[in-house]
Amino acid sequence: MTKEIIKIQDLKREFTMGTETVHALKGISFDIKEGEFVTIMGSSGSGKSTMLNILGCLDQPTSGAYEIDGVSVKDLNRNELATIRNEKIGFIFQSYNLLARTSAIENVELPLLYNSKVSTEERRERAIKALKMVGLGERLHHTPSQLSGGQQQRVAIARSLVNNPVMILADEATGNLDTRTSYEIMSLFQELNKKGITITFVTHEPDIATFSSRTVVLKDGEIMQDYLNHNVQSAANELAKLPKQDE
Amino acid sequence: MRLLNLFKIAFKAIVLNKTRTLLTMLGIIIGVASVIAMLAIGEGSKESIRTTISSMGSNMITIRPGADNSGPARGSGGNVQTLILEDYNEIKKQASLLSYITPVVNGGGQVINGANNWPSTIYGVNPEYLNIKAVGLQSGSMFTDAEVKSAAKVALIGGTVVENVFPDGQEPVGQMIRFNNIPFKVIGVLEEKGENTFGQDQDDVVIAPYTTVQKRILAIDYLNQIMASAISEDEASEAVTQVTDVLRSQHKLIESEDDDFTVRSMEELISTFSSTSEMLTVLLVAVASISLLIGGIGIMNIMYVSVKERTKEIGLRMAVGAKGTDILMQFLIEAILISVTGGLLGVILGLGATVFIENFLNWPTSVALYSIVISFAVCAVTGIFFGWYPARKASALDPITALRYE
Ligand SMILES: Nc1ncnc2c1ncn2[C@@H]1O[C@H](COP(=O)(O)OP(=O)(O)OP(=O)(O)O)[C@@H](O)[C@H]1O
Ligand SMILES: [Mg+2]
């Protein structure tokens, strides 16, 4: 259980805009072990998304080392990176990034379309299962414009689950949800985590962090704090404590 | 399996973006159709000129007195009198590549039958004339060599003359008519040939033995022209050379002197006239090329913009695991589907327009295969290239850069 799934060493990311250089990440090092549930916190602009994008193999660091499951990402070519994204990682974007005018189920099926090992029937089955898990079993054929912000967020979550990833990277996955729904989602993540999926979760909200086993706090592109949470709350319990809504 | 998926993705994208797809296709359709239709008009008029000229006798060679100062519609040599019967006899004797030959003398006058009066032209020829002009007889028969020798007063008349001097449907053969007061016995009626390309009525003629016309009507001893036909179309230009050689020696022309006669084959005549319609074709091709260019730019524009605006989509697809080749294939398939469908619709529309022009505007048209191939190829290649190129650029980005693209 102590295998490191993510290992980063002195990771830097700079953005050059004309003559100006933005140092979004100023040399970050940490490891994430298999099966951990890590929340990443920090004020706006502290570099959370930037880091998560690099972890998700969506972006390349300016310098520093990044190993995923024992493989140095620097040594992988674009196709190998695509395969890792397709088979190992479930990514949830801060801004959903759903395909417009495309039904929920087709959006969820998308990653499996690029996996030739999955048949058409299996693809459909798994997409329906993932949508049911996030409570959208009744909304399979709605397009993003026919869904609320929270529902779109849940479609994005279903899409990240559908390829049975070993690691889920979520950028403010509960940012647009009310307390009840975000607790529902968190309890879903906790269940997935119990099944052994490593979760890295970016959030602003301290109460969300209490559901995770570890919290990393970023500030101005550097790690401020990195602590284990010895008193992990159960999202399901917290959900039960919430006052019942009028139905 | 993977390719099938990509096909599905591409097809879905096309259906999802109906308006955009339609606009792209419209550019291709109009580009292809207009090129096909315009070239069909150009080719059609060229061909119609060619066939009318050929129907006048495709192996025909004409020999006129006087140097060639060009212009195919020039008169019959005016008062140049350098062509004589001796020339005809020598050519007939020496030029082996000629199958038929006749002297020609002609003049205008009045055809009279009782109270009916019609201005026409009389051609004095020998019996081979019919073979040279490739014209048959509707009734009666041609005069004989004996009748030529005896300068018999017999004539054949064309349809227009029949209509005007035998208005009540009388059978002309066997009747007497007068041409400039000389009585002729009508022994035959020529087959109708209609107007030639120059708008001349080929049925408004009277044909008689050249001896008769020379002596009794025109009172001349020279020839207006000599007509002949080469043994085959291929030998026509060689025959022209033969005739030229014979005439030069007949006319005792020394090296430095120009010909005092003009020998022309039908082929040359065709090329002279074709050059006029060639101009038309060039003009139409220019217009067609411009519309093809504009169509191409339209396709370029829409393809380029549509791929650009989908950079975000490309980023997302790559983020969930699409490889660069997957993206490229998807856009390539999309571009091919759109371009090929548009191209085919364009071909159909172009052919339809051509049929319409032919039947309702009565313009001669002829669809050239090359116009279909070229216009289709240009549009398809432009469409495919500009669908592929921006997609290639987008798929070379990091997923997050593509996702961030505004
Ligand atoms: N593509 C880019 N080009 C230039 N600067 C960038 C780019 N992406 C991020 N930055 C800069 O890097 C810094 C970190 O941005 P990042 O998006 O990681 O912040 P964040 O912690 O996710 O903030 P938030 O909580 O608001 O999402 C910011 O100052 C931002 O302006
Ligand atoms: Mg962010």
pLDDT of residue B198: 64
How far apart are the C-alpha atoms of A96 and A155, rounded to whole Å?
Answer: 8
pLDDT given for residue B125 in this prediction: 94
SS3 (DSSP) at B197: coil
To test the ligand 1 pocket, which listed residue (A19, A23, A28, A46) has its Cβ within 8 A of the most ligand atoms?
Answer: A46
Same structural domain, B103 and B245: yes
Residues with CB under 6 A from ligand 1: A 15, 17, 22, 24, 42, 44-50, 94; B 404
Average pLDDT score, chain A:
91
Both B286 and B360 in a single domain? yes
In this structure, the dihedral spanned by the alpha carbons of residues B261, B267, B269 and B271, taken in order and rounded to 10 degrees, is -130
Residue where one domain finishes, among candidates B259, B292, B318 = B259
**Is residue A144 one of the residues assigned to a domain?**
yes
Q: Which residue has the tokens 């040279």?
A: B132
Domain count of the fold of chain A: 1
Query: Would you say residue A13 lies in a domain?
Result: no
On whether both B120 and B26 belong to a single domain, the answer is no
Provide the domain limits for residue A136.
Answer: 35-51+88-241
> What's the rounded Cα separation, in Å, for the pair B38 and B36?
6
B96 and B197 belong to one structural domain: yes
B78 falls within a domain: no
Contact A58 B399 (CB under 8 A): yes
B73 domain-assigned: no
Distance CA(B262)–CA(B259), nearest Å, equals: 7
Q: What is the mean pLDDT of residues A124-135?
A: 93
Same domain, B233 and B276: no
Residue A94: inside a domain, yes or no?
yes
- For the stretch A38-89, pLDDT in tens is 999 999 999 999 999 999 999 999 999 999 988 999 999 999 999 999 999 9
Structural contact between residues B14 and B338, judged by C-beta atoms closer than 8 angstroms? yes
| A38 within 8 A of A216, measured Cβ to Cβ | yes
Question: Separation of A171 CA from ligand 2 center, angstroms?
Answer: 7
Distance CA B27, CA B292 (A): 9
Burial of residue B31 (CB within 10 Å: 0-12, 13-18, 19+) is: buried
- String of DSSP letters for A167-196: EEEEESTTTTS-HHHHHHHHHHHHHHHHTT
Ligand 1 atom at minimal distance to the Cα of residue A17: 4
pLDDT for position A247: 47
Greater confidence (A143 vs B387) lies with A143
Q: Which of residues B231, B259, B287 is at a domain's end?
A: B259
Q: Are B319 and A86 within 8 A, CB to CB?
A: no
Q: Which residues of B touch A79 (CB under 8 A)?
A: 323-325
Contact B190/B203 with Cβ under 8 angstroms? yes
Note the pLDDT of residue B254. Answer: 84
Give residue A3's pLDDT.
86
Q: Is residue A9 assigned to a domain?
A: no
A/B interface, count of CB pairs below 8 Å? 70
Answer yes or no: is A114 within a domain: yes
pLDDT, tens only, A205-229: 898 999 999 999 999 999 999 999 9
In tens digits, chain B (406 residues) has pLDDT values of 578 888 888 888 888 888 888 888 888 888 888 888 888 888 888 777 777 666 666 678 889 888 765 544 444 445 678 888 999 999 999 988 899 999 999 999 999 998 889 999 999 999 999 888 888 899 999 999 999 999 999 999 999 999 999 988 889 999 999 999 899 999 999 998 877 656 678 889 999 999 999 999 999 989 999 999 888 877 888 888 999 999 998 888 888 888 888 888 877 666 766 677 677 778 877 887 887 788 778 777 877 887 777 889 999 999 999 999 999 888 888 888 888 898 999 999 999 999 998 888 878 888 888 888 988 888 888 888 888 888 888 888 889 999 988 7
DSSP E strand boundaries for B27-145: 60-65, 98-113, 116-125, 137-140
Please give, rounded to a whole number of angstroms, the shortest distance from the CA of B312 to a CA of chain A: 8
Both B194 and B315 in a single domain? no
Ligand 1 pocket test, pick from A22, A94, A219 with the greatest ligand atom count within 8 Å of Cβ, gives: A22
B224 lies in the same domain as B120: yes
B167-179 b/e with 16+ CB inside 10 Å = b? eeeeebbebebbb
Residue B46: predicted pLDDT: 78
The distance of Cα B105 from the centroid of its chain, to the nearest Å, equals 30
- Same domain? For B209 and B356 the reply is no
Q: Which domain holds residue B164?
A: 83-259
Please give the model's pTM, rounded to 2 decimal places: 0.71
Classify B18 as helix, strand or coil: helix
- Per the structure, the count of domains in chain B is 2
Q: Is B319 on the interface with A (CB under 8 A)?
A: yes
Indicate whether B30 and B151 sit together in one domain.
Answer: no
Helices then strands, counting H and E runs in chain A, come out as: 8, 10
Give the helix/strand (H/E) hosting B343.
helix B324-360
Interface contact flag, A82 B322, Cβ < 8 Å? yes
In a domain, A77, yes or no: no
Distance A41 CA to ligand 2 centre (A): 10
**CB neighbour list of residue B347: distance below 8 Å, 6 or more residues apart:** B32, B33, B36, B372, B376
User: Is the residue at B232 inside a domain?
Assistant: yes
| CA angle (B191 as vertex; B190, B197 as ends), nearest 5 | 105
Residue A60 lies in a domain: no
Q: Give me A199's structure tokens.
A: 């979760």
Q: Is residue A246 one of the residues assigned to a domain? A: no
- How far is the CA of B214 from the CAs of B85, B152, B209, B219, in angstroms? 11, 12, 9, 5
Mutate to test the interface with B, among A16, A54, A109, A113 (most CBs of B within 10 A): A113
Residues B44 and B91 both lie in one domain: no
Distance from the B356 Cα atom to the nearest Cα atom in chain A, whole angstroms: 41
In chain A, pLDDT over 90 holds for what percent of residues? 73
Interface of A with B (CB under 8 A): 53, 56, 58-60, 78-79, 82-83, 85-87, 91, 93, 97, 99, 101-102, 106, 110-111, 113-116, 159, 163
Tell how far CA A167 is from the center of its chain: 8
CA angle, A176 as apex, A171 and A180 as ends, to 5°? 110
Residues B113 and B37 in one domain: no
Assess if residue B74 is contained within a domain. Answer: no
- Note whether residue B66 is domain-resident: no
Q: Verify that B372 and B286 share a domain, yes or no.
A: yes
- How far is ligand 1, taken at its centre, from the CA of residue A43, in Å? 11
The shortest CB-CB distance from A91 to any of B2, B16, B319 is to: B319
- Residue pair A74/A51 in contact (Cβ under 8 Å)? The answer is no
Environment class of B255 (CB within 10 Å of its CB; exposed 0-12, middle 13-18, buried 19+): exposed
Tell me the CATH number at A177: 3.40.50.300
User: Which of these three, B223, B238, B259, is where a domain ends?
Assistant: B259
